[in-house]
Amino acid sequence: MIQNITKISERVFDYFLSQNKKIHSPKNLYLIYFNLNKVIEDSKLVANHYLALRFDEEFLQNSSFGTPQDKWRFFLNKDLEMLNNTSKKYLLMLTGLSFDNDTLQEIFIYDFYNCKGYYDFVKRRYDIGSIPPSSMCLLQNVLNTDFKNKSTYYYIEKRNKIDLRSYENRVKLKEEILEEVEKLEDLRDKTSKYLRKKFTIDDLLFKGKI
């Protein structure tokens, strides 16, 4: 479910952390690092809160929401909405990561996504997932990460439909999310080491009035 975030993050961070060039704004990198951690925490919430419940759980019964599935859907959608807002903010912040003297066209993420298309899609149409009323399927509209296909540069949307009717499918999705979280945690930790090695606290602090 969050594989698109993992793949984009791996490409961006693996590239930037391996280059012996001066980052244009250490503060931007720190803010990206901070928001990556928020994506990790919100992903854990989605995985561990309501997603993989059985519908015979006692606290799902006799609810003012209606059926056990209705209550499950309501709270899972709340968790997904939080993750979606966090993910969009994080993905948009990646456009602020560049080296000194880079032009707009040289920002790394625009090597595989059209500049205007990426920003417009993430801001307006990106959706990490939600479950429509009376449905048991999670619908997504996320970033296409088939980077081997050059058409991805312009056709950046990928729609997914994940069937969550069975308990087994819900557990499977939970496990997949937590697997991706481990990869994001590894990137976060690498970035933390990079920040501590390359910059002082003064490099990362905002000065003057904010």
pTM of the shown model: 0.92
Whether 9 and 90 have beta carbons less than 8 Å apart is answered as no
What pLDDT does 36 receive? 98
d(CA 9, CA 87): 11
pLDDT band at 174 (very low <50, low <70, confident <90, very high): very high
- pLDDT over 80 (residue 154): no
| CB contact at 8 A, 150 and 118 | no
pLDDT for res 24: 78
CA separation for the pair 49, 14 (Å, rounded): 31
CA-wise closest residue to 40 among 200, 166, 189: 189
List CB contacts of 197: < 8 A, sequence separation 6 or more.
none
- The string of DSSP codes covering the chain is --HHHHHHHHHHHHHHHH--S-BS-HHHHHHHHHHHHHHHHHHHHHHHTTTT--TT-GGGSSBTTBSHHHHHHHHHHHHHHHHHHHHHHHHHHGGG--BTT--GGG-GGGGTS-HHHHHHHHHHT-EEEE--TT--EEEEEEE---TTSGGGGT--EEEEEEE-SSHHHHHHHHHHHHHHHHHHHHHHHHHHHHHHHH--HHHHS--S--
Cβ atoms of residues 110 and 97 within 8 Å: no
- Average pLDDT score over the chain: 90
Structure tokens at 87: 């993910």
Measured between alpha carbons, how far is 159 from 162 in angstroms, rounded to an integer? 10
Return the structure tokens found at 42. 């919100």
Q: Which of 71-75, 145-149, 176-180, 184-188 has the lowest mean pLDDT?
A: 145-149
Per-residue confidence at 114, pLDDT binned at 50, 70, 90?
confident
Tokens 């032009």: give the residue.
Answer: 103
Note the pLDDT of residue 106.
Answer: 58
